[in-house]
Structures are given as structure tokens and as C-alpha cells.
Structure 1
Amino acid sequence: MRVLIPRGGTWGDDVARRVADAGFEPLVLPLVTIEPAEDQERLRASLDLLAAGRVDWLVVTSQSTVRVLPRIPASVKVAAVGSVTAASLRERGVPVAFIPTRQSAAGLVDEWPIREGRVLWPHALDARPTIAEGLRRHGMQVSEVVAYRTVPVFDSSDELLDAVTEQTGPLPVVDAQRLQRELQASGHDADEVLTALEPAETPIDAVLVTSGSVAKQVARLGLSTETRVIAIGEQTAEDCRKHGLRVAAVAARPSAEALVAALVAAA
């Protein structure tokens, strides 16, 4: 069983090791990369306010945001969307005051502990407005700024398919279920349909999806409907479905260990 891991670096290496330990074949192929925010002046202005202690709370929703943060004064409380982001903050020496039990943007909003104060939320360019809108409903004064952009590694779907094919062999032109329907509709009998389906092997048996931007790139692959899509959380699962992916399992926690555990359960 070949498993596509669409992120590289130390995270991808760790997941690949866990996938191999589970008895599967890992394929590490980063589909997205992180680029600086286009409006660096606005980002610097927001981070200067943070460094000066002119906000009460900093909300951090990804490890990519952690990389751009300045020194955070002790007067500012920090909220992390989940344990992985919190660990990255603590590695930088940043204490974390709040992590929601349900580790997602919606969970953070639902469990938010106070009802007044100033919040800074640096986020990805394509971030959903869940946190800003939710915290404002709670009475918070929310300032938000784009901290980074998530961009595709491959400019076209053809480049993406070529990259996968180089490591896996030919991709199926159409998925088996759609081919079966088309053949039957054209008057072929059951034996002909089965014979036509036999050679169509899926080079990717499962894919681990860690964000909405990754889900979008996975959808460009046109994988078989039999490919198991494993999402790292409920929000990512929703993003997968929005892009037409059928989710086989959702990790219990947003971590590499839980993601691979969900893969094993789905397999």
C-alpha cells in the first residue's frame, strides 16, 4: 500500500518513518510551499504592535506563523490552535496560555476563555475567517494580518501528475467506478467490464491531507475514488470534501502519530 505524504522537511521524514513502521510504502512529495506575505510593511507594523505589548492576546494557528514572530512580551497571552503549534511556540521559548480541547479554529472560538480585550491573529493568505468572526462575536477587538502565503509547488496539474508518475508509474486515466458506469451505459456486458477494469491499478492507495491548500492540490491529481484520504482534522476533512475528495478517516488529534493511526484504522 503506497501512501502519499504531501509535506516534506522534518515533519515529512517523521511521518514517512511512521508509515513505514506501520508496514506501508511512504511516498514523500511536497505539494505546497510557504512564501512570505506580499505586504511585508503591514506585517511588520502588526508585529511591532505585538512586540510593544499593545495587544492582550496573540492567536497562533500554524507552525508557519511561529517562524515570523518577534519576541513576545510577558504581558501578552498566547493561544495556540493545537498541540503541534503549541510545541513550536514552546521551542521558541513562548509560554502558551490556552489550547482548546477540540483542536481546530472552531474549537478555539467555542472555548475562548474571555469576552473582552485586543487580539492579534497573523494567518495564511487563504485562511478562513472563522477565528476573526468568532472572537468578534465574543466581544474581542481583533486585528488580523497575513503572515505568509501557501503556494503550490507545481504550476500545472500536468507537472503535478508527472511528478507523481515518475515515482509511482502511470496514473489511471479515469477511476474504475466511472469507467464501469460508462462501459455498462454503452452496452458492454459484465465480463467485458471486468476485463477492462483489471489493468487499472491505483498507484496511490492513500494520501495524508494536512490542510485545505494540500487538499486542493490532491484534488488536482484526479486519484481513484478508492484512494483512502486521511485528514488531520475536521476542518481539513471539510476542505477535502469541498474539493470533491471522499474522506476515509480523520485523525483524532492534529499530530503525525494520530494521522498515521487513522491511516492504519482506515486500511
Structure 2
Amino acid sequence: MITRLNHKPLAGWRVLVPRGGEWGNSVAATLRQKGAVPVIAPMTNFAATENSEELAHSFTRLSDGEFEWLVVTSSTTVDVLVGHAVRVPEHTKIAAVGESTTSALVLAGYRVDLAPAKDNSSRGLVKEWRSAPPKERVLVPQSEDSDDVLVTGLIELGIAVEFVTAYRTVGVAVPRDVADDVASGAIQGVLITSGSVARQIQTQLAPLPEETVVAAIGPRTAFDARAAGIRVDVIAESRTADALVAALIEGVVR
């Protein structure tokens, strides 16, 4: 690949950003600072859980003080909490996975008592808990297709964990011109932000051209992408937008 040593290492590159909203706009802004042209094309969306009564019951029990911990792993879960007007008792602590999740909780008026200091992922949260596992009840509302790393890890620590489906992830078709540009190589970089996005890329855009640089946000997402049949060239060291763009730059300039 061509080496770019100036302050615009992605100059001339078009990069697929498969997630919209505040996060997608933030990544797009960072890409522009590095000289790239971001192509925002959300590939997943979120729908209500098919078992709304179970979710409402869990949230009622949470508000009634039956859980000592609430674990939130995505900003979408925060939206669900707000949509249900969930009140978290003072004695119930909140753990968050991911910087965007932490920010969303704070903006929604919830406090954050625990977040992984280094590995800001489900695996990292389990490691944080491993040092001082609480013998308390934990509620984990997640997407129906979330991996089991968090729940399984906490159960293995002897923690009483209750999982409830908070929402469903559904695929969104990318515009035809975007798919054509990926296939032709006119879009030279692709960001993978989750396992569900990886599966949509496999379904809608595979096979990717050999020269396309594929960057995944964290080891777990890279694992899920490869399991879905997507080649991963570089992996962000942490689950942040800046780390993901930095990984893409590494793949471009090396």
C-alpha cells in the first residue's frame, strides 16, 4: 500500500461507515479530519423485543429494588431504559460497557458506577468484576443476538445473573450505489462495528475486493467478522471511534 506520512493519511480514501446516529457522525468527522470521505450507510437497526411483557416485568423488579446491579452494554439499551421510564434505585449500581454507552447513560440522567478501565468490552467488564466479585443479583438487558461472553463470564464467577431481551437487531439494505462502489473498489475502506454489522456485510456486500482495507472495532468484533466469513485486516485496540480510525490508518499506511 502507498505510504502516507502527512497529516492527512487517508487523503483520497472513501470509507464505509456502517452505523448512523451520533456515533456514525462522530466517526465521519474524525475520518474527514484525516482526509477521508466517509460514506455513512447504516446496515442495522433496532426493533422492539417480541417479549415486551417479560422486559416490562424485569424493569418493574429493577425499579422495586430486586437487583443490586444493572449492566448496560449499548446506547440502544439506554434508549430502551428511557423509553420505559425506568427508575434505578439509589442502592442499585450501574455498570457500563463502551464509551458510547457510558456517555448515553450520563446524558439520560443515569449514573455509572463501574466501567472497564482498560478493555472496555464485555470481556473487560468480567475481568474487572473478577478482582472483587459481588455476591449480588445482576440484571443484564441486551439485544437478542448479543454474544454470551458477559452473562457466561459473570455466571462462572458465581454471580446471580438474569438476562432479558431488550431489543432486536434487524438488517438494513444499503443503497445500490453504495454496494456498487464497495464491489468496484471505489470505497477503499470498510469499518466493522459489531458482529451484526459483519453478518450484514457478508450478506449484502461480500466478497469484498482484495485491496479493500477492513478494520474491526476490538478483538471480539474481529472474531465475529471472521466467523461470518469476512476478512479483517486491522483491529482497533479499544472499542472507541478514535481507535477504529487509527487502526484503519495503520492498515492504509503500512
| TM-score of the pair, normalised by structure 2 | 0.86
Select which of 140, 158, 170 maps to 1:139. Answer: 158
Contact 1:168 1:203 in 2 (8 A): no
- Mapped pair 1:233 → 2:233: no
Aligned equivalent of 1:214: 197
In the alignment, what sits opposite 2:32? 20
Q: Summarize deviations over 1:184-217 as a string: whole Å, max 9, x none.
A: xxxxxxxxxxxxxxxxx51221111111000111
User: Residues 93-242 of structure 1 correspond to what in structure 2 (within 5 A)?
Assistant: 93-100=109-116, 101-112=118-129, 113-154=132-173, 160=174, 163=175, 165-167=176-178, 169=180, 172=183, 201-220=184-203, 221-222=205-206, 223-242=208-227
Structure 1 residue 107: Cα displacement: 1.5
State the distance in 1 between where 2:201 and 2:25 align: 19
- Return 5+ residue gaps in structure 2 as ranges: 1-12
Q: Would you say the 8 A contact 1:115–1:138 is kept in 2?
A: no
Q: Which amino acid aligns with 1:66?
A: V
How many Å separate the matches in 2 of 1:75 and 1:134?
Answer: 23
The secondary structure found in structure 1 opposite 2:109 is: coil
Superposed displacement of residue 167, structure 1: 4.1
Q: Deviation at 1:84?
A: 2.1
Asked if residue 255 in structure 1 is aligned to residue 243 in structure 2, the reply is no
In 1: Cα distance, 2:134 partner to 2:28 partner: 42
Q: Secondary structure at the match of 1:68?
A: helix
Instruction: Give the structure 2 partner of residue 36 of structure 1.
Output: 48
* CA deviation after TM superposition for structure 1 residue 36, in Å: 0.9
- Residues 207 and 170 of structure 1: CA distance in aligned 2, closer, same or farther (over 3 Å): closer
- Give deviations 1:157-196, integer Å, cap 9, x for gaps: xxx4xx2x42475664xxxxxxxxxxxxxxxxxxxxxxxx
Residue 8 of structure 1 is matched in structure 2 by: 20
1:60 and 1:80 in contact (8 A); partners too: yes
- Report how many aligned residue pairs link the two structures: 231
1:64 maps onto 2:47 in alignment: no
Partner of 1:92: 108
SS in structure 1 at match of 2:70: strand
Specify the code of the residue in structure 1 equivalent to 2:177: E
Distance in 1 (CA, whole Å) between partners of 2:33 and 2:134 is 46
Supply the AA of the counterpart residue of 2:222. Answer: A
Q: Of 62, 77, 90, which aligns to 2:93?
A: 77
Note the C-alpha offset of 1:252: 2.4
Q: Is the 8 A contact 1:60 1:78 kept in 2?
A: yes
CA-atom RMSD in angstroms: 1.6
Q: Classify the secondary structure of the residue corresponding to 2:111.
A: coil
Q: Against the structure 1 CA distance between its residues 265 and 42, is the aligned structure 2 distance closer, same or farther, given a 3 Å change threshold?
A: same
**What's the CA shift for 1:53?**
1.3
Q: Which has the higher contact order (CA 8 A, sep 6+)?
A: 2
Could you tell me how far 1:82 is from its partner in structure 2?
A: 2.3
Which residue pairs with 2:3 in the alignment?
Answer: none
Moved over 2 A (4+): 167-172
